[in-house]
């Protein structure tokens, strides 16, 4: 039985969020190697990878408020600049993963994404399904998106995953970030969260550091909790991709000890 897994490489992990337009190529290379090793050891893994935009898309989007809407000519220029910045990082990630032996097929979300007031309502899935059927690893990324209400907006990797979950039915959603997991008020990792824990947790969830136009950790937890509540059996897992080996071990073993699992 193949296991289908969505994996997000967070923007704060693959870029330096404190410096505009600065990638972390050595980290991207290591993560690519970790994915290669996991696929070699578990040929039954069906991966869909998405990556964040970190200091690329967020830096470009901030002065224009692209997430909130795109109306004026200046804002549409911003839309184009954000798209270009997101694609530039994606080019780098694509090349590094291919070089490392992971057969990624980059698919540009903004080519087909359609939102309504910030909610993603359509994304072409045929190319993703075909890529999977041919043994490739579809590679998506946080990108701009046209929006029926706002003109334009931004679709984060989480938005893409939330939209794709009912269509592609992953067993797990992995979010590799720069932090160890969801931290409690003493700074310790909360190993398991169920949707019922959320009201108590909300008070201690902190936002991500740096410029982030698509929500920080609190937002991730809320979205993943809503998903696991809706799709029984689905597990979301937030962990640090900073420690070498963690990504491979989480990919290989759904019970690996690391970070925070969100499940019913």
CB of 62 to ligand IPE, least distance (A): 9
Q: Would you say 33 or 212 has its CB closer to ligand IPE?
A: 212
Residues that bind ligand IPE (CB under 6 A): 10-11, 52-54, 57-58, 61, 82, 86, 142-143, 154, 156-157, 212-214
Question: What does the chain look like in DSSP terms, one character per residue?
Answer: --EEEEEEE-HHHHB-TTSTT-B-HHHHHHHHHHHHHHHHH-TTEEEEEEE--HHHHHHHHGGGTTTT---SHHHHHHHHHHHHHHHHHHHHHHHHHHHTT--EEE--GGGT-EEETTEEEE---HHHHHHHHTT-EEEEE-EEEEETTTEEEEE-HHHHHHHHHHHH--SEEEEEESSSS-B-TTS-B--EE-GGGHHHHTTT--PPSS--TT--HHHHHHHHHHHHHHSTT-EEEEEESSSTTHHHHHHH-TT---SEEE--
CB of 197 to ligand IPE, least distance (A): 24
**CA dist., res. 243 & res. 189, Å (int):** 15
CB of 71 to ligand IPE, least distance (A): 18
Q: Would you say 210 or 252 has its CB closer to ligand IPE?
A: 210
Q: Would you say 54 or 241 has its CB closer to ligand IPE?
A: 54
Beta-bridge partner residues of 143: 155
CB of 57 to ligand IPE, least distance (A): 3
CB of 69 to ligand IPE, least distance (A): 14
**CA dist., res. 53 & res. 48, Å (int):** 17
CB of 241 to ligand IPE, least distance (A): 11
Q: Would you say 34 or 37 has its CB closer to ligand IPE?
A: 34
CB of 13 to ligand IPE, least distance (A): 8
Q: Would you say 23 or 54 has its CB closer to ligand IPE?
A: 54
Q: Would you say 37 or 82 has its CB closer to ligand IPE?
A: 82
CB of 92 to ligand IPE, least distance (A): 14
Q: What's phi and psi for 173, nearest 5 deg?
A: -120, 120
CA 19 → CA 9, 176, 213, 238, distances in Å?
A: 18, 20, 16, 24
Q: Would you say 9 or 37 has its CB closer to ligand IPE?
A: 9
Q: What's phi and psi for 4, nearest 5 deg?
A: -95, 130
Q: Would you say 74 or 233 has its CB closer to ligand IPE?
A: 74
């Amino acid at each position: 039985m193949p296991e289908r897994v969505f994996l997000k490489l967070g923007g704060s992990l693959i870029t330096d969020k404190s410096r505009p337009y600065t990638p972390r190529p050595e980290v991207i290379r290591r993560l690519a190697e970790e994915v290669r090793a996991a696929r070699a050891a578990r040929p039954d893994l069906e991966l869909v990878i998405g990556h964040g935009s970190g200091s690329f898309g967020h830096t470009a989007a901030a002065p224009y408020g692209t997430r909130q809407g795109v109306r004026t000519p200046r804002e549409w220029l911003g839309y184009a600049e954000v798209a270009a910045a997101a694609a530039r990082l994606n080019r780098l990630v694509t090349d590094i993963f291919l070089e490392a032996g992971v057969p990624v097929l980059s698919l540009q979300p903004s080519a087909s994404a359609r939102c309504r007031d910030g909610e993603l309502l359509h994304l072409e899935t045929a190319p993703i399904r075909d890529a999977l059927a041919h043994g490739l690893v579809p590679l998506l990324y946080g990108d701009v998106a046209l929006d029926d209400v706002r003109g334009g907006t931004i679709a984060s990797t989480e938005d893409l995953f939330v939209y794709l979950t009912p269509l592609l039915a992953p067993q797990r959603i992995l979010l590799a970030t720069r932090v160890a997991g969801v931290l409690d008020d003493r700074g310790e990792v909360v190993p398991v969260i169920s949707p019922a824990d959320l009201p108590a947790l909300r008070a201690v969830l902190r936002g991500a550091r740096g410029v982030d136009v698509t929500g920080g950790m609190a937002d991730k937890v809320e979205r993943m909790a809503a998903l696991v509540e809706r799709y029984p059996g689905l597990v979301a897992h937030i962990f640090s991709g900073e420690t070498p080996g963690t990504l491979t071990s989480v990919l290989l073993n759904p019970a690996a000890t690391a970070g925070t699992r969100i499940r019913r």
